[in-house]
Chain A
């Protein structure tokens, strides 16, 4: 049996699956249920200064795609709307009762040293394992100079991180906002400020849909809406890229990362870890299906690790990072060609029309016994994968790498490149 124990920035947990700071970690009641279900850790819903914030009614928007509910999800909630003392009291009690689980406290206070100093003192008294600085919230809090308003300015990140490192012994996680053009800059700033780990991504600025009757963006609050934070399966590709950018950046290489964004199952988690995350955090999937999903996450990851002969998490964390490179270093002499397995083909023709209308006209169609037969014209196929993606049948269209006699050649060396070195 694979060993799933996880250690990130000195914080230990029995498995790498944590709940992200959000409604599932809003209070002791939820967190205890989550621990009972098997979650390895939680990042408590972000705490701020008293008086608590006030939330609106009608808070979530969602994207349904072709029958899949909540493929994307957004919210216009703020940080915890409960009194600070109550949260701290519950955190202390929960940590005492569940000493083996990671319990991190997410924080967001105004951008002055004293505010951070004061709250850190209070958190220390709870015996929590660490703090996570919420520099990510893209709505509401940012209008008040907090959240992503800080996260978008690397100098502020560095400054606040340094304050925190100065005023506490607890490990400091810095949670990054994806609402920025180059994610490496805030990551470098966090590192410069002394952060022990970074968590990413927080939610992406978004409008999920417009209510065409009310003529207002959803969620509609008394006739008006606002942009909210996007998350769920739809954001996973964006999050994965940001995690990989940081883990392969020489300036931040080796920094502990807690990966977040659209993780719904063990496979998603394994992908984040392969690109350099030591632990992962989940929010939307838990909000969609409840805490039980962690069962399969633990089991699935463990079975997969057994199969691949990985004994502990560090055996594969970051394993895909060296294989993530810039476009210019990809082998231009590599060739792959689509192959249609005629025994699996159901004749839907989606590959044909996709290639014919929008790609390289490399699939032929001919009628045979009232059925259409689709075949790849190998000379024409550029190996773009479109047909394999549109095909609704598992493993019917596969991409076959072709034997090449030509050696590795990348763009920096290519004759067509005006800046070619050769």
Chain B
């Protein structure tokens, strides 16, 4: 299948290695910072899952105190750099900005956040330091944003942290999932290096929980455990011949795409159909288009307003040439042992019986990810898992003492920033528990 080489290497580089939201220059940052009103009880803070003190950091940018600004951000959100790049700010902090009401144009909080954190990284300043070393060991399973956020906060609080990660690289979906044009120049790894620099965090790569070690062992060896294992399974369409060639899981394809050294060699068909309505669906659709697919149609079973993807994401996909079909459900996959050739859809609006067929050589499934408890060894014996989520309370405690969890594995798949907050909250709860 597929036709590598449809686009020139130069075009591919343009499509994948160029930042879609380029950083602000000094001038732009100073103008933008001056737009912040320094609100009392600012709505933007409440709209940020990690509760960064936004007016404070923006004011610091405007006074030239960039170090203070970056510290404001990173002390609430150690992945402030990644979040500045990938947060759907239009539904988070910037949605809260009072400037929306008066003039329909919020302060560009995300870009200002990037301005401050980029400055700190460029200056190679390490603002964190470990204090009150505790000689207590905590295990963190999974090195995505949830796990690493937890590990960092614990290390700063003086704990010794061991991070177990199944994959070859740290970062979870920061490294294997987020769209390349949002995280250019290997930013995920640079950010993680900064996070680990504080010390006290030992990393064990290619150590898979459930296969290489068990919950029983962790409980014996560590004072507390944090699970940030994300979601390892993918929802199925539950249609016949779902395994035929050309029918792919979006997340697996994206994971390979993020790791490839040679974009020209990535195999992709000419006509692509994507099923789903969240940001993964948007990402795979845009990435397909940017890889050179001649047509990409995204099909969602309900309407635009029901899509999980934000209006900004939808518009971005449309601007990239993605066609979006709403109110349609895949009914039948058509093809043979060589591969898929078309998909038959039916309308989901009541009263409509329209059936239509979209020819394709690649079908991406992007209808959500799930937790597969079986992959986590003996976990089920200890913890309550309902609806594919590990059950936790406000402090991110599981039903088992001294075992905490956070991120996609407790919420079914939300956002990077939500996972970061979970890790931070859990670390504070662990600290409270152990001191």
Contact = CB atoms under 8 A, between A and B. Distances in A.
Nearest to B99: A346
A211 to B, nearest CB: 13
Given A66-B34, A67-B34, A353-B40, A348 B46 contact: no
A350 B98 CA distance: 11
A392 B41 contact: no
A349 B42 CA distance: 8
Given A66-B34, A67-B34, A352 B40 contact: yes
B102 A346 contact: yes
Nearest to A68: B34
Contacts of B38: 350
Contact of A371 (B31, B42, B43): B43
Contacts, number: 36
Contacts of A353: 40
B39 interface: yes
Nearest to B39: A348
Given A349-B39, A350-B39, A350-B40, A393 B34 contact: no
Interface string B11-52: 000000000000000000011001001111111001000000
A347 B96 CA distance: 10
B31 A348 contact: no
A181 to B, nearest CB: 34
Contact of A67 (B30, B41, B101, B102): B30
B75 interface: no
Contacts of A349: 39-42
Interface in B257-301: none
Which among B31, B99, B101 has the highest number of chain A CB atoms within 10 Å? B101
A350 B37 CA distance: 8
Contacts of A372: 41, 43
A353 B38 CA distance: 11
A370 interface: yes
A365 interface: yes
Contacts of B46: 370
B320 interface: no
Interface string A345-384: 0111110110000000000010000111000000000000
B62 A66 contact: yes
B99 to A, nearest CB: 7
Nearest to B62: A66
Contacts of B37: 348, 350, 392
Nearest to B35: A67
Nearest to A353: B40
A193 to B, nearest CB: 48
A160 to B, nearest CB: 46
Nearest to B102: A346
A371 B34 CA distance: 24
A150 to B, nearest CB: 41
Contacts of B40: 348-350, 352-353
B181 to A, nearest CB: 31
B101 A392 contact: no
Nearest to A374: B40
A392 B34 contact: no
Contacts of A365: 41
B101 A346 contact: yes
Contacts of B102: 346, 392-393
A82 to B, nearest CB: 36
A347 B34 contact: no
Nearest to A344: B102
A67 B36 CA distance: 11
Contacts of A392: 37, 102
Given A66-B34, A392-B37, A347 B43 contact: yes
A348 B40 CA distance: 6
Nearest to B101: A346
A368 B313 CA distance: 30
Contact of B101 (A66, A347, A370): A347
A370 B38 CA distance: 18
A67 B29 CA distance: 11
A230 B38 CA distance: 29
Interface string B82-106: 0000000000000000110110000
Contact of B98 (A66, A348, A352): A348
A393 B40 CA distance: 15
Nearest to A391: B37
A346 B34 contact: no
Interface in A373-422: 392-393
Contacts of A352: 40
B376 to A, nearest CB: 37
Nearest to B31: A67
29 contacts: A66-B62, A67-B30, A67-B34, A346-B98, A346-B99, A346-B101, A347-B39, A347-B43, A347-B98, A347-B101, A348-B37, A348-B39, A348-B42, A348-B98, A349-B39, A349-B40, A349-B41, A350-B37, A350-B38, A350-B39, A350-B40, A353-B40, A365-B41, A370-B46, A371-B43, A372-B43, A392-B37, A392-B102, A393-B102
| 9 interchain residue pairs of minimum CB distance | A349-B40, A67-B34, A353-B40, A346-B98, A346-B101, A348-B39, A348-B98, A66-B34, A348-B37
Interface of A: 66-67, 346-350, 352-353, 365, 370-372, 392-393
Interface of B: 30-31, 34, 37-43, 46, 62, 98-99, 101-102
Given A348-B42, A349-B39, A370-B46, 14 more contacts: A66-B62, A67-B30, A347-B39, A348-B37, A348-B40, A348-B98, A349-B41, A349-B42, A350-B38, A350-B40, A371-B43, A392-B37, A392-B102, A393-B102
